[in-house]
Amino acid sequence: MNLALRDVRHNLGRFLLTCLGLSLLLGVVLSMIGIYRGLVDEALTLVRAPGADLWIVESGTRGPFAEASRIPGDTRDAVARLAGVAAAGSLTFQSVETAHRGRTLRLYVVGYEQGRPGEPKRLAAGRPITRSHYEMLAERRAGLEIGERVRLGRDFYEVVGLTEGIVASGGDPVVHLTLKDSQRLQFELDPPAARRELARGASPAGLDTVNAVVARMLPGVPAAGVAAEAARWKHLGALTQEDQEGLLLKSVVEKARRQIGLFTGILLAVSAVVIALILYTLTMDKVKAIATLKLIGAPDRTIVALIVQQALAMGSIGWGTGTLLILLAKDHFPRRLLLLPEDALMLGAAVLVLCVAASGLGVRLALKVDPATALGG
Amino acid sequence: MAAPLVELRGIAKTYGRGEAAVHALTDTDLQVYPGQVVGLLGPSGSGKTTLLNLIGCIVEPTRGRLDLDGETVYDGRWLRSDLRRLRLEKIGFIFQFHNLLPFLTAEENVAVALDLAGVPGAEARRRARALLDYLEVGHRSATLPSRLSGGEAQRVAIARALANRPRIILADEPTAALDSGRAAMVMDLLRRLAIEQQAAILVVTHDETIFGRFDGTVTLRDGRVVPNG
Q: What is this model's ipTM?
A: 0.78
Q: Do A377 and B176 touch (CB under 8 A)?
A: yes
Q: What is the pLDDT of residue A321?
A: 94
Measured at the alpha carbon of residue B24, what is the angle toward residues A370 and B18, in degrees to the nearest 5?
100
Instruction: Report pLDDT for B147.
Output: 92
Are B112 and A1 inside 8 Å of each other by CB?
A: yes
> Shortest Cα distance from A374 to chain B (angstroms)?
7
- In this complex, the residue of A3, A297, A376 whose CB is nearest that of residue B84 is A297
**Mean pLDDT over residues B140-150, rounded?**
90
Q: What is the pLDDT of chain A when averaged over all its residues? A: 87
Strands B22-32 and B6-15: antiparallel
Nearest CB to A1; choose among B59, B108, B172:
B108
Identify how many contiguous H helices and E strands chain A contains and give both numbers.
11, 12
- Cβ–Cβ contact B48 with A under 8 A: no
Per DSSP, the three-state class of A215 is strand
Q: Which of A207, A1, A243 is nearest to A92 (CA)?
A: A207
Predicted confidence at residue A113, as pLDDT, reads 92
As a whole number, mean pLDDT of residues B47-52 equals 87
Residues in chain B: 229
Whole-number Å distance between alpha carbons of A251 and A258: 12
Say which residue, A279 or A246, is predicted with more confidence.
Answer: A246
Contacts of residue A158, Cβ cutoff 8 Å, sequence gap at least 6: A134, A135, A136, A147, A148, A149
Please give the Cα distance from B30 to B144 (Å, whole number): 38
Per-window interface: B 182-201 vs A, CB < 8 A: none
CA nearest to A337, candidates A42, A107, A105: A42
Residues in chain A within 8 Å Cβ distance of B89: 297
Chain B residues within an 8 Å CB radius of A3: 101, 103-104, 112
pLDDT at A74 over 80: yes
Question: Is the CB of B102 less than 8 angstroms away from the CB of A10?
Answer: yes
Of B62 and B151, the one with more pLDDT: B62
Q: How far apart are CA A274 and CA A242, in angstroms?
A: 43
Cβ pair B5, B33 in contact under 8 A? yes
**Nearest CB to B93: which of A289, A296, A377?**
A296
Question: What's the rounded mean pLDDT across residues A97-101?
Answer: 88
The pLDDT assigned to A36 comes to 84
Q: What is the pLDDT of residues A235-265, one digit of tens each?
A: 888 999 998 888 888 877 788 778 888 888 8
Q: What is the pLDDT of residues A177-202, one digit of tens each?
A: 999 999 988 887 777 877 887 788 77
The partner residue sitting opposite B88, judged by closest CB among A289, A296, A370, is A296
> How far is A300 from chain B, CA to nearest CA, in Å?
10
Residue range A166-170: mean pLDDT, rounded: 84
Q: How far is B76 from chain A (nearest CA, A)?
A: 21
Q: What's A253's DSSP letter?
A: I
Beta-carbon contacts of A327 under 8 Å, excluding residues fewer than 6 positions away, are A339
At residue B28, the 3 state secondary structure works out as: strand
pLDDT of res. B16: 83
Q: What pLDDT is recorded for position A230? A: 84
pLDDT for residue A205? 62
Torsion, Cα A340 A343 A347 A353, to 10 degrees, reads 140
Give the model's pLDDT for residue A206: 67
Residue ranges of domains in chain B: 6-102+166-226
The DSSP annotation for A321-374 comes to HHHHHHHHHGGGSSS-----HHHHHHHHHHHHHHHHHHHHHHHHHHHH--GGGG
Distance CA B72, CA B8 (A): 10
Question: CA of A7 to nearest chain B CA: how many angstroms apart?
Answer: 5
**B190 vs A217 pLDDT, higher one:** A217
Whether the predicted pLDDT of B9 surpasses 50 = yes
Mean pLDDT of chain B: 86
pLDDT tens per residue, range B82-133: 888 888 888 888 877 778 899 999 999 999 989 988 889 899 999 999 889 8
How close does chain A come to B3, measured CA to CA in Å?
A: 25
- Residue burial B56-90, b: 16+ Cβ < 10 Å; e: rest: bbbbebbebbbbbbeeebbeeeeeeeebbebbbeb
Q: Which residue from B21, B14, B52 is spatially nearest to B201, judged by alpha carbons?
A: B52
Q: Are A125 and A132 in contact (CB under 8 A)?
A: no
B211 DSSP 8-state letter: G
Q: How many CA atoms are closer than 13 Å to the CA of A263, on its beta-carbon side? A: 17
Across the interface, whether the CB atoms of A374 and B102 are under 8 A apart is answered: no
Q: How far is CA A136 from CA A155, A276, A352, in A?
A: 12, 56, 51
CB-CB neighbors (< 8 A) of B99 in chain A: 288-289, 292, 374
CB B190 within 8 A of CB B174: yes
**Residue-wise pLDDT tens digits, B20-31:** 888 888 888 989
Q: Which residues contact B228 (CB under 8 A, 6 or more apart)?
A: B217, B218, B219
Residue B52: pLDDT band (50, 70, 90) is: confident
* pLDDT: which is higher, B94 or B229: B94
- Quick one: pLDDT at residue A377? 44
Least confident of A202-206, A308-312, B36-40: A202-206
Backbone angles phi, psi at A160, to 5 degrees: -110, -15
> SS3 of B8, please?
strand
In angstroms, the CA A155 to CA A142 distance is 18
Q: How far is CA B212 from CA A166, B31, B39, B215, B216, in A?
A: 92, 19, 9, 8, 9
Given an 8 Å threshold on Cβ–Cβ distance, is A6 in contact with B113?
no
Residue A262's CB is within 10 A of a number of other CB atoms, namely 11
Nearest to B116 among A296, A375, A377 (CB): A296
Tell me the β-bridge partners of B91: B168
> Which pLDDT belongs to residue B145?
92
Output the CATH code of domain B6-102+166-226.
3.40.50.300
DSSP one-letter string for B105-118: -HHHHHHHHHHHTT
Longest CA pairwise span in chain A (Å): 104
Q: Return residues 64-123 of B near A (CB < 8 Å).
A: 84-85, 87-89, 93, 95-97, 99, 101-104, 108, 111-113, 115-117, 121
Q: Is the pLDDT of residue A33 over 50?
A: yes
Q: What is the pLDDT of residue A376?
A: 57
Q: How far apart are CA A182 and CA A166, in angstroms?
A: 17
**B166, B168, B136, B142: which is closest to B154 by C-alpha?**
B136
Q: Which residue of B has its CA nearest to A10?
A: B103
Q: What is the pLDDT of residue A349?
A: 92
CB contacts < 8 A (A, B): 81
